[in-house]
Amino acid sequence: MEHNIDNKPVMIEMNQVNKWYDDYHALDNINLKVRKGERMVICGPSGSGKSTLIRTINRLEEHQYGQIIVEGVEMTPDVKKIHEIRKEVGMVFQQFNLFPHLTVLNNITLSPVWERNIPKKEAEQTALALLERVGILEQANKYPGQLSGGQQQRVAIARALAMKPKIMLFDEPTSALDPEMIKEVLDVMRELAMNGMTMMVVTHEMVFAREVADTMVFMDAGRIVEKSTPKEFFSNPKEERTRQFLNQILNN
Amino acid sequence: MKTTVQPYRGDRPPIFKTGALNWMKNNLFSPWYNAVLTVVTGALLYILVTPLWRWGVTNACFGTTPDVCKDNHGACWAFIQDMWPVFMVGTYPSDQRWRVALAAGLVAVLIIATLFRALRKQRVLHLCWVLSPIVIFILVRGGEVFHLSHVPSTQWGGLMLTVFLSLVSMIFAFPLSVLLALGRQSDMPVIRSVSVAYIELVRGVPLISILFMASVVLPLFFPPEMEFSKIMRAVVGITLFFAAYLAENIRGGLQGLSQGQYEAADALGLGYWKKTGFIILPQALRIVLPPMVNNFIGILKDTSLVGIIGLIDLLQVAFAATSNPKWLGKIEEAYLFVALFYWIMCYSLSKFSRILEERYQL
């Protein structure tokens, strides 16, 4: 998918972002720019800080040094700002994290109704449209526990989209899924990418990455080791560490 | 040796031979030690139950006056029959007892109505439930409303008082405990330390001493012209005490939720109170429903300690009734009767919680 984003406005900017867990340096001087409509895939060995990185963007993790600017708003400890940024940034988790005590429909409408003050009827119509878009309209009145993993993850995507976010973060969205369900989730993500959503995706799905990404980011030990286009990244990686990682992951 | 097993052709699982005899053989006598246990338990039961039966039923006497119980070795149920209004309402004026009966009747009607699935969802019924405490309070207390004479709370007693103390304490302790549990988990250091201090302080003190404190210390905090009835002091004491206990249970539920639930709510931009009200509490409270009901049962039974500050609750009525010269020394009957009532109430609570648990399974 060739797709030019160089002239688009910057949506997310990270300047010298650092984070520690006690003495452990989880993020080490991260500098990144994500432009409108850009699809960035972040990969790297486990413990390399890729999940931590995207979780600092909606402050599920707090950074201790540096600057994160989302849509021109700098992330500070101010609760109101955090709140504003979170409403614009959707997130999909590895473990889905649907609310088990609410129906699929209520999972999706809860935040639009209570945080965006959208009338219940209208929110439900939007939710049903989203469910149709992710291909599980018929599950609207079930509870999350009655759905398969792939279906749950698609509900989670619909739930995030219902807030009409400008940016979507995906934290290993297919890692907890049985192999036969991975495709249905990736298909939804592909469709989102086609429609111009700004996306940051942490994933090991290299086929998906090669096909969809504008930018590949490889992380190791809390640092960004390499950042390039997928073409370069897969055919001609510059760093030795990247080559090792690609060898391991692609030869499986 | 190999035997050929035919493929199973039915569409239901095979039915095994059953029947009472078979069941007994399998469950009561199957290995020899089970048989021994069955026989020993049966014998013990027989030894324990027969004298009780003889005392309570065979040799018992019924009636309304003390004379029927003369020269009798069995239980004297005439005592209960004569005194049972006192057990129910204590020293509440006898010509006004109909008001308590009416209140009890109202609650009974509400409960029966709630049992009907069709009525359960009616707004009117919910409204009736919400208004019922006020109606009952007016009905029982009286005053100038509806030409009902005023019955001061010093005359409330018996089962009525026990139920009143437990219900009111439960209703107030529950929200307080939710706030304490949330406070204990709060990011704000002041709120957290106040909650922790309160919980740890109150949990470390016996209820009796708190009741004393409530009855002696509480009036010191308020201007002297403000009168606090003994009942109100007891309610405050019990509420404050059990809120600390309940809070710890609810904290267990809050911690039992996966971190992902908090994160998902945060990521959706839900504010603290919306996150807590829609996502966290509904799940946490379901998790802790059984220990919470356990706590409520505790409240119900521990209201019997209010005798210490001079209230005549169900248990104290037993003391009072057996000191009546007419019925001196009918202690066994009195306590058995009181115990039966406590048991009925606690068992109903536990049954009710089982229904809730099944209904709200996650």
Question: Is B142 a member of any domain?
Answer: no
Closest chain B CA to residue A102:
B279
Distance from C-alpha of B246 to C-alpha of B288, rounded to nearest angstrom: 10
Could you tell me if B84 and B23 lie in one domain? no
Beta pairing class for A65-70 and A10-21: antiparallel
Question: Is B73 a member of any domain?
Answer: no
CB contacts of A83 in chain B (<8 Å) are 269, 271
| Mean pLDDT of all residues in A40-60 | 93
Beta pairing class for A215-220 and A10-21: unpaired
The alpha-carbon gap from B266 to the nearest alpha carbon of chain A, in Å, equals 8
Question: Cα torsion for B233, B235, B241, B242, to the nearest 10°?
Answer: 180
Could you tell me if B208 and B177 lie in one domain? yes
Mutate to test the interface with A, among B262, B268, B361, B362 (most CBs of A within 10 A): B268
Distance from C-alpha of B171 to C-alpha of B311, rounded to nearest angstrom: 20
| pLDDT of A252 strictly over 80 | no
Please tell me whether residue A99 adopts helix, strand or coil conformation.
coil
Structure tokens at A144: 């999350």
Distance from C-alpha of B143 to C-alpha of B158, rounded to nearest angstrom: 21
Could you tell me if B38 and B170 lie in one domain? no
The alpha-carbon gap from B281 to the nearest alpha carbon of chain A, in Å, equals 11
| pLDDT of A2 strictly over 60 | no
Question: Is B4 a member of any domain?
Answer: no
The pLDDT value given to residue A10: 92
CB contacts of B266 in chain A (<8 Å) are 58, 60, 86
**Residue-wise burial string across A216-231, b where 16 or more C-beta atoms lie within 10 A, e elsewhere:** bbbbbebbbbbbbebe
Contact assignment for B282 to A101 by CB distance below 8 Å: yes
- The DSSP code for B19 is -
- The DSSP code for A163 is T
Could you tell me if B347 and B208 lie in one domain? yes
Question: Is B64 a member of any domain?
Answer: no
Structural element, H or E, at residue A155: helix A149-161
| pLDDT of A16 strictly over 90 | yes
Could you tell me if B344 and B293 lie in one domain? yes
Q: Count of A–B CB contacts within 8 Å?
A: 60
Question: Is B157 a member of any domain?
Answer: yes
The residue with tokens 């955090």 is: A82
Quote the number of domains for chain B: 2
3-state DSSP percent of chain A in helix, strand and coil, to 5: 40, 25, 35
pLDDT by position in tens, chain B (length 362): 677 888 888 787 777 666 777 777 777 888 888 889 999 999 999 999 998 888 888 777 777 777 777 767 777 887 788 888 888 888 888 888 888 888 889 888 888 888 888 887 888 888 888 888 888 888 888 877 777 788 888 888 888 899 999 999 999 999 999 999 999 999 899 999 999 999 999 999 999 999 888 888 877 877 777 677 888 888 989 999 999 999 999 999 999 999 999 999 999 999 899 999 999 999 999 999 889 999 999 889 999 998 888 888 888 888 888 887 777 777 888 888 889 999 999 999 999 888 888 887 76
Rg (CA), chain A: 18
Rg (CA), chain B: 27
Chain segment A97-146, per-residue pLDDT in tens: 999 999 999 999 999 999 999 999 999 999 999 999 999 999 999 999 99
The residue with tokens 């019925």 is: B327
The alpha-carbon gap from B269 to the nearest alpha carbon of chain A, in Å, equals 5
The alpha-carbon gap from A166 to the nearest alpha carbon of chain B, in Å, equals 13
Chain segment A173-228, per-residue pLDDT in tens: 999 999 889 999 999 999 999 999 999 999 999 999 999 999 999 999 999 999 99
Could you tell me if B44 and B167 lie in one domain? no
Separation of first and last alpha carbons in chain B: 49
Nearest-CB residue to B263 (from A97, A98, A100):
A97
The pLDDT value given to residue B241: 92
Contact assignment for B260 to A93 by CB distance below 8 Å: yes
Q: Residue B2 burial (CB < 10 Å; 0-12/13-18/19+)?
A: exposed
Residue B42 structural domain = 19-58
Could you tell me if B25 and B86 lie in one domain? no
Closest chain A CA to residue B279:
A99
Could you tell me if B316 and B199 lie in one domain? yes
Question: Is B239 a member of any domain?
Answer: yes
Could you tell me if B163 and B23 lie in one domain? no
DSSP letters along B45-103, please?
HHHHHHHHHIIIIIS-B-SSSGGGGTT--S-BHHHHHHHHHHHHHTTS-GGGHHHHHHH
Could you tell me if B164 and B54 lie in one domain? no
> CATH no. for residue B322?
1.10.3720.10
Q: Are A5 and A37 in contact (CB under 8 A)?
A: yes
Question: Is B170 a member of any domain?
Answer: yes
The residue with tokens 């603290």 is: B272
Contact assignment for A159 to B274 by CB distance below 8 Å: no
Question: Is B121 a member of any domain?
Answer: no
Q: Are B326 and B66 in contact (CB under 8 A)?
A: yes
Could you tell me if B195 and B246 lie in one domain? yes
Helix runs in chain B, H state only: 20-27, 32-53, 77-89, 97-115, 117-120, 123-141, 158-184, 189-203, 207-216, 230-256, 259-267, 272-274, 281-287, 289-302, 314-322, 331-359
Query: B 277-336 residues with CB below 8 A of A?
Result: 278-279, 282-283, 286
Could you tell me if B45 and B84 lie in one domain? no
Query: What global pTM score does this model have?
Result: 0.84
Separation of first and last alpha carbons in chain A: 25
